[in-house]
């Protein structure tokens, strides 16, 4: 009976998430390109002096779709110019196939330098992407048997995208709705397991989302973000109006 209840609850959760994604797709599609560019510039200017970013040596940055989210090009370039080790998402087939695990998973792969970043080609969604033929030569965070010197590799800061965000009225937690594939949640769970296996406890990585102001649901009338047991909590949210929200700041 409990299995049936669990499956029913998960189906309801997934349906609620999909409904909000559909509503947000329309909302984000109406944002003028000039507004998204302006907000992206504001987020970049905030990050340049933001302590978690300034102090991070190893940073993961999502690479943006052409519209509907914060553009991270300036952030990637600044991080490389600042001498940080910069990692970007790489999607690949799960090396541990199982009916209970996703078929495709995400790793973080290091960019060599600015020229390497500029050489990335857009995928079918317009997102700059790593050439799979070069992955075996690169440092990766999780990796596999072919990985280049990544046994000890962890991250200090992960800058994540999202579709919608809100603040839990009960706990003050910042809740994130992703695109529905679970790439970041599964990656972070595996990252924590790796840190534990290295004797470091749970990974001390900081998790901050970057979002257009319109992506934050500020009142129940705008909707709320449904969360499940595998959804990762954020350390903070940097908005396109320059606002930085943390769980402590909303208590």
Is 58 within any annotated ligand binding site?
no
Is 101 within any annotated ligand binding site?
no
Is 137 within any annotated ligand binding site?
no
Is 48 within any annotated ligand binding site?
no
Determine the Cα–Cα distance for residues 120 and 111; give it in Å rounded to an integer: 10
Is 182 within any annotated ligand binding site?
yes
Q: What does 121-167 look like in DSSP terms, one character per residue?
A: EE-TTS-EE--GGGGGGS-BSS--TT-SS-TT---SEEEE--SEEEE
Is 199 within any annotated ligand binding site?
no
Give bridge partners of residue 216 from the DSSP assignment. Answer: 165
Structure tokens belonging to residue 25: 């797709």
Determine the Cα–Cα distance for residues 179 and 65; give it in Å rounded to an integer: 12
Is 25 within any annotated ligand binding site?
no
Contact 172, 251 (CB under 8 A): yes
Is 239 within any annotated ligand binding site?
no
Is 63 within any annotated ligand binding site?
yes
Is 179 within any annotated ligand binding site?
yes
Is 177 within any annotated ligand binding site?
yes
Is 21 within any annotated ligand binding site?
yes
Closest CA to 214 of 43, 46, 68, 61: 68
Which residues belong to the annotated binding site for ATP?
17-21, 176-184
Which residues belong to the annotated binding site?
17-21, 63, 69, 176-184
Which residues belong to the annotated binding site for substrate?
63, 69
């Amino acid at each position: 009976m409990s299995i049936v209840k669990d499956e029913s609850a998960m189906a309801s959760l997934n349906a609620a998430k999909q409904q909000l994604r559909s509503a947000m797709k329309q909302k984000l599609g109406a944002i003028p390109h000039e507004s998204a560019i302006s907000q992206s510039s504001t987020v970049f200017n905030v990050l340049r002096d933001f302590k978690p970013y300034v102090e991070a040596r190893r940073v993961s940055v999502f690479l943006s779709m052409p519209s509907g989210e914060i553009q991270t090009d300036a952030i990637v370039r600044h991080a490389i110019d600042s001498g940080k080790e910069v990692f970007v998402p790489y999607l690949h087939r799960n090396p541990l196939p199982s009916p209970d695990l996703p078929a495709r998973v995400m790793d973080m792969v290091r960019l060599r330098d600015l020229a390497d970043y500029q050489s990335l080609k857009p995928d079918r969604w317009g997102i700059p992407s790593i050439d799979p033929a070069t992955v075996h030569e690169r440092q990766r965070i999780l990796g596999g048997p072919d990985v280049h010197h990544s046994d000890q590799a962890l991250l200090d800061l992960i800058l994540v995208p999202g579709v919608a965000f809100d603040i839990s009225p009960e706990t003050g937690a910042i809740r994130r709705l992703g695109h529905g594939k679970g790439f970041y949640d599964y990656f972070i769970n595996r990252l924590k397991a790796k840190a534990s296996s290295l004797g470091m406890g749970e990974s001390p990585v900081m998790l901050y989302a970057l979002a257009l102001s319109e992506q934050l649901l500020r009142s129940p009338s705008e909707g709320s973000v449904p969360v499940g047991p595998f959804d990762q909590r954020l350390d903070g949210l940097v908005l396109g109006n320059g606002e930085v929200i943390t769980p402590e700041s909303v208590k």
